[in-house]
Amino acid sequence: PPDFTLTVSLVSLSFFFLFLFFFILLLSSFFFLFSLQRKREQFQIQQRMGGNNGQVKKKDHKEIAQMVMFGQGGVGKTALTIRFCSNHFVEEYDPTIEDSYRKQFVVDDVPQLGMIMDTAGEEQYDAMYDHYIREHKMMFLIFSLTDKRSFAVELPQRIERIRGVKDEQGEEYYFYLIGNKKDLEDNREITKEEAVKFAEEEGMPYMETSAKTNEGVEEMFVNMTRMHRDNTHPQLGLGLKARNIKGAI
C-alpha cells in the first residue's frame, strides 16, 4: 500500500540522516583530538625552547641573530634547528613548508636572540625562496654527507640563485657550509677534503655536524653569529669572492 511504502521510506531516510549525523560527529571528534595533539606537541617544543612561545622581551637580549637554513629536502635542516633550539632529535622526516624558531644563547658573553628560518627543500614549496634570500644575511648551506646530489648538484644551484638575488641588493651576506649526518660515517659519499676544497673556492667556512648526536650543532650557530659580528668571510654583491678567507673551520 502507498502509506506503508511512504512510512518505510521515511524510516529509511531517518536512519540515513541519523547515520550521517553520527558520522559527522565522529569525524569532528577525530579532527578535534588531532588538533589538540598538535597543540600539545607544539607546547612541549615551546617548553623545551624556554616557554613563552620562544619569545624574549627586548630588554633581555642585546643582539638579534637572524639566520636561514637552505638545502635540499632531507638533509637535516629541521633536525639541526630543533636540536639547537630544544635539544631534541627528530627521528622522522617530515617535509617542511616554512617554520621559524627562536633561541636564546650567548656568544662571547653577549646574550643573543637567534631567529632561525627553516625553509622547504622541496621544489613545490619554492615560491618564497627569493624572499628568504632578501630578508637574511646569515645563510646556512646544508648538505648531507650521505647524499652526493645534495652536495654536487643542489648546492651550486642554490648558491647561484642566492648570489643572483643578493647582487641586486648590493650588500654583504654570509654563507656557512654545513655537512650534516656525520654520525653515518659508513654511508659517507662526500669526503671532508672535497667539502673543504669547495668551501675554500666559494669563500666560506665549513664544518661537519650531526643532529642525531648533537656534534657541532651549537658551534655552527655560535660561529655564524660571531662571523657576522666580526665581518669575517663576507660574500660581496655582484658575485665577488669573499675577502679575508680563512679556510674551513
Q: What are the sequence ranges of the domains in the chain?
A: 1-48, 57-239
* 3-class DSSP state of 235: strand
Q: What is the pLDDT of residue 241?
A: 44
Round to whole Å and give the CA distance between 79 and 200: 26
Round to whole Å and give the CA distance between 65 and 221: 9
Q: What is the pLDDT of residue 168?
A: 84
Q: What is the pLDDT of residue 64?
A: 84
What is the full per-residue pLDDT of the chain (249 aa) written as tens digits? Answer: 555 565 656 667 676 777 777 778 777 776 666 566 555 555 555 544 444 444 444 445 467 889 999 999 899 999 999 999 999 898 776 655 668 898 999 999 889 888 999 987 665 456 678 888 989 999 999 999 999 999 999 999 999 999 988 888 888 899 999 999 999 999 999 999 999 999 999 999 999 999 999 999 999 999 999 999 898 888 875 544 444 334 444
Q: What is the pLDDT of residue 143?
A: 97
Q: What is the pLDDT of residue 129?
A: 82
Q: What is the pLDDT of residue 192?
A: 96
Q: DSSP secondary-structure letter at 216?
A: T
∠ CA(72), CA(183), CA(44), 5° rounding? 75
Round to whole Å and give the CA distance between 30 and 160: 46
**How much is the CA Rg of the chain, to the nearest whole Å?**
25
Q: What is the pLDDT of residue 54?
A: 43
Please indicate, yes or no, whether the overall pTM of this predicted structure exceeds 0.75: no
Q: What is the pLDDT of residue 144?
A: 97
Q: What is the pLDDT of residue 19?
A: 74
Distance, first Cα to last Cα, the chain = 91
217 with 101: CB under 8 angstroms? no
- When the candidates are 3.10.310.10, 3.40.50.300, 3.50.50.60, 3.40.50.720, the CATH number that belongs to 57-239 is 3.40.50.300
